Structure 1
Amino acid sequence: MLTSLREIALQKNNLTNVIPESLGNLRNLALLYLSENNLSGHIPSSLGNLTKLNILWLSRNQLSGSIPSELGELKSLVELTLYANELTGTIPSAISNITYLKRLYLSRNHLTGQLPENICASQSLTDLVMFENNFFGDIPRSLKNCSSLQVLFLALNQISGNLSEGFGVYPNLSYIDLSYNKFYGELSTKWGQCYKLTNFVINNNNVSGSLPPELGKAIQLGRIQLSSNQLSGRIPISFGSLTSLLYLDLHNNKFSGNVPPEIGKLSQLQILSLSGNDLSGPIPEQIGECAQLRKLDLSQNVLTGSIPSEIGNLNVLETLDLSQNMLVGDIPQNLGSLKSFENMNLSHNNISGSIPKSFSTCFSLLSVDISYNQLEGPLPNISAFQKAPFDALRNNKALCGNVVGLNSCNSSLRNKANKSKTERIIVLIVLPVLATIFLLTISIGIFLIIRPRTRRTDQPGSSTLPENLFAIWSFDGKFAYENIIEATENFHPNHCIGEGGCGSVFQAQLPNGQVFAVKKLHATESGVQGTAKGFENEIRALTEIRHRSIVKLHGYCSHPRHSFLVYEFFEGGSLLHTLSEDEKAMEFEWIKRINAVKDVANALSYMHHNCSPPIVHRDISSKNILLNSDYEAHISDFGTAKLLRPNSSNWSSFAGTYGYAPPELAYTMEVTEKCDVYSFGVVALEVMMGKHPGDLISSLEISSSSSASNNMMLQDVLDPRLPLPVQQELGQVVLVAKLALSCINSNPKLRLPMQEVITQLSAKGLPLKSIPPSITLGQLNGS
């Protein structure tokens, strides 16, 4: 009866039963939010009376029946969100009558039939998201000329049609996913004119022809996924222009020719999958320049030559699959030095020699398959090899080891022992002589260095350093500057403790014993300091905020020769560094990890809710979180931070780290606090898993509730280097995981604000009796 009511926001509660018909009386209602409840029954046709309604959210409930045609009367509707329900039937053609409709979300239902022919007749539609239904038939003709389109997500249906005829040029399109349908025809050169395109996904269809080189003009592309089609010809060298590309998946096609060396220009690439094609020639050594590559799969081709040693430079590589090719030569020595290496498959080649000794310390390795090669010698003494099934080792030249099916290495070990004895005798004679010479040289050097400094200290007028140098920063800047230059030996590489895109970080220990971290900005070729805007951002942000979990800025210097910032120093290094080293990760126990997550959450809550205007960091990642000796976490690197000023535009170009940035930045550049919330969720999962969650994030959001990802048990994704949490730890670990999954919701409106995250984290965790013994990710995620 509240006929003047304009907004009802009851989303994300535990409301049950049906949506009352009487809501149709609220003629002035503009916003109706009822998503994420337990509502059932039909959508009331009386909602068609709400002619002033702008937004209708009914997603993530248990609504059934068909979509009432009366919704076509909502002439003011801009957004209709009905996804993740049990709706059946067809989309009523009357939906096409909604003149101003921009966003239509109907995914994860049981809808069928064809898409309405005039679904984009109004030319207002920006987002059409209908994946996981049973739609069939051709693409509506009105979509070909729908120039307003920004997001088109039709995956997991039965839609067909000729790709080269059904789509046009979309100047604003950023995301298209047509995977798992029945499309055929060839890829049009017009896709290259979609200059804002970030995701181009058409895998598991029947697309044929070649890849248009013009696609290389869509330089904002972050994902190309065209696997399991009938594509042929060469991979275009123009793809080397796609410097923002993160994911290139062309597996299970008919591509031929060489792997283009231009792929080495893709400095952001994380996943490269070209398996199951007819690619030939050598593996280009330029792949070693893809510094962010985590997965490299070139299996089931006809590649020749040896494995390039440059692959061993890929420090974050987790999976390498080169099986079923014609590769020869040795396994590169530096492969065994990769710190994140987990899976290696080199089977069914002609690789020879022995397995490099470097693999004996490659403890991150989980699985190997080196069968059907010409390898010989002992297996490395790590579990990945020692516990490998015989089928993963069989049909080699002369491998030996304590694995059933292999010969023992006793005879070769005796020879090795004799050689070792000879080496020990040489060491016992030569080492003392060399040590004496070395100590004598060092003593002379120290004497020469100390002598002049002692004289200078005794000179009249010299002043001792104050107890806290930076307390007088603004009064004696020259004094502070010179001491920083001296402490870092003019920024000598020996003092460098980290490097990023905009600068290098140095450790500076001053004569009074104080230690600081100094971030020196990179200079451009012209000598002008680069990233000046980031320099100013960081100073502005850190001088306006004070929080125990935010790195403290002691001072800064803007100088024609050197521009740098001086922070407090954290001996624990970055969170990324701690998680990537086994010894440190094992010391980083569950309670310490939970507290670190709370530290980050507290800092973000302070920035979002206690600062005026609010501050958004925009680059929350494990490399930008520093730990002290007690594993307390502190947020650093505010070079991309943005102040959210009211009544002004908060749109910006992309900033952040791929893998931590929220998905909506693929099609909008509006900066909100929810960007940080998403990044926090990724970091929280990373802390619990001991590594970046990777594809697990997207599979949890896109896959159905019966998918492998949702059915995965929580205990199977927790960091295996720690024992499973027990007692009070268990409840808090489950709570952190549950909150993290909530924070990475693909819909930013459904992510918890950081204030609410803090409120929940402040509790003692979920009571043990409420945690199933084998809880799955799907249960935590509410799927």
Structure 2
Amino acid sequence: MRGAVTLVCFLVASCVWVVHGATDPGDVSALNALFTDFESDSTLTKWVASGGDPCGDLWFGITCVGTFVTAIQLPNCGLSGKVHGSVLQQFLHVTVLDLSNNKFENDIPEHFPPNLIQLDLSNNKFQGNFPDQLMNIPSLTSIKLNNNKLDGTLNAQSFTTLVNVITLDLSTNKFSGTIPESIGDNMLSLKFLYLQNNKFSGVLPLSLANLVALQVFDVSNNKITGYLPPNFNPATFSYEGNDITLLAPPPPPFTAPPPLKSPNPSTPPNPNTTPNPNTSPNQNAPLASTKSSSSSLGVSKIAAILVVVFVALTAAAILVWFFLIRKVPERATEPLDVEANGHNHSGRFCIWCLPLFSSGKDDEKPAKVKVYEPDSMKEGMDSPKIKAQPPIKTLDIPPVYKGDDQIKTVEKVDTDKISAIAFSVAELQAATNSFSEENLVGAGSLGQVYRAELPDGRVLAVKKLDTKAASMVENENDFLSVVEGLTKPQHSNVTELLGYCVEHDQRLLVYKYMSRGTLHELLHGSANDKCLSWNMRVKIALGAARALEYLHEVCSPPVVHRNFKSSNILLDDEFIPHVSDCGLEALAPSVTERQVSAQRLGAYSPPEYTMSGTYTAKSDVYSFGVVMLELLTGRKPLDSSRPRSEQSLVRWATPQLHDIDALARMVDPALGGVYPAKSLSRLADVVALCVQPEPEFRPPMSEVVQSLVRLMQRATSGNRQTESKSDSLQGDTAHEPNE
């Protein structure tokens, strides 16, 4: 009887857990521990410190398959506190861990989920050494630890089992020592290896030549010396800030073989001399010595003669040049032939075309002459350096001769070095139903954007460029050079260029499709989705600010967006912002069309650009301030349906940003008065700085990011909603025209 009662109780308890709990208890306990360790929970909606149902209640940032947690994605959440490895290793089914762009400052965890595939702890302040325990997770394909405070040397053993890693990003830390050989020996799947902005020293390991799949390799700004390993040829290689030589040095010119010394019993042997194993004991030593000395003497004489001949010919060429350059004004208008006379078509003398050597026959046409490379002069002989005369500064430099019969004026872009996928027109036509209207999701000054679905189920966004609107897409090589530049920005808040198409006069760019559309559509669309809470708006502003900070202050060279607005901020399923059109300023109209460009920017255009055409990173800051005003008020930057004094959002809002009562009336009515009052005031302060008329008074984006991070942290005090504020908002908005 007692056993039957026990069985019934067990079954009832099991049914209760199945009905009310959809998450594995072990995962629940581990998430409770994480929540306790995190000091900022402003964005962790539905998280609790004890119990709960993460899968059933859809905890923020948690993805489940069945009853198990499989992904923890909490980027850009303003989180701080500690991350303990003892907690992380309890997630037995987690394959994705993303805690990037937060404020963690403790030592980097030693342990991680044992079946992890993607790890992203970038843009924090983690300290300590590279976590060697990662070698116990061979399933990893992506490791991103960049932009932290990690130091020490890399243990070669740590990389022996990471054979599936495609992306390894250790950039912008304080790692030192040499780059381990084991990376090239074992990580043969690597496509992206980022080691820049550290303190690595020594030479590049020869094993890097084994990484045949490598597309991007960046070791810039380290202390690496030596030469590039033989047969190492990644698609994109950045090495600035080191002492790396791309080509191994040639053997010294005119080097004679060392003379053979005759064995002399009276002369003590030189301890530094290595015996030649190929020398026969019966060889006539005096004869060999004589031959070697004669050979050495002959080579020395030849070298001396060549030096004298070279100096004489160079001096003669300079004298001829000096004589002819003084005659230029007298015959500047005569049409001269470049090949025959050594002049360019503008009538000015071209020293690069002057024949340095002649056959000696006056009736023969001088042969084409290659450009004489200064480096080869230095390698060939120790000739005296000859300084160019001042007039050479005014000469036009002609195309460089690459061969006797071939002239190459523009270096063709190597498509193998472009990491993006080259699509065919047929593929993209099929994916967009021949670019039908039903797949059109947006349009801008450079072209239209279409939704594309590939046969494998992937959904992409295809930007079809208008060759009449963009100034650099007609020439295929120019377009490919722009595409190569567009693939370089790598940031979680910047849209990544996945592919391109350059066939049949078509120019198309392919990006990942963002399901939530643009921020402009979300704020001002006809449906006007009301799901954007205050914290979500601040989170979107912070993500967009991080994107501009990356473009302005991390990219080398810096990238100025030039077209930052809410319609270029795309939102994914988690409302994470992705700034689009980064780097497309290369396709923008020329300087003579600034007025058209200013109209294209519209209300986002800063004063200095409208007046003088000057556009800098501080101009992007102004446009960012306008977007923050949109988030704060829910209004369009320019709205002709409103009274004249309220049509320009910046002009209407700026005088009220420091008036507490007016500021409360400005807040988007869609919020229903639910927002932290102090956060509102602090956000208004940031906006006021960004939309300053004078560019020099606007803050850099790094300061804006820090201000928004602090604002996110202080938002934990909770949202405020009072009856008086709600009544005030309703009373004020009742008199305003509908948008």
| Same fold, judged at TM 0.5 (above) | no
TM-score range, shorter chain: 0.3 to 0.5
Whose strand fraction is larger, Structure 1's or Structure 2's?
A: 1
Using the size of structure 2 for normalisation, the TM-score is: 0.39
Structure of larger gyration radius? 2
Larger RCO of the pair (alpha carbons < 8 Å, separation 6+) = 2
Whose helix fraction is larger, Structure 1's or Structure 2's?
A: 2
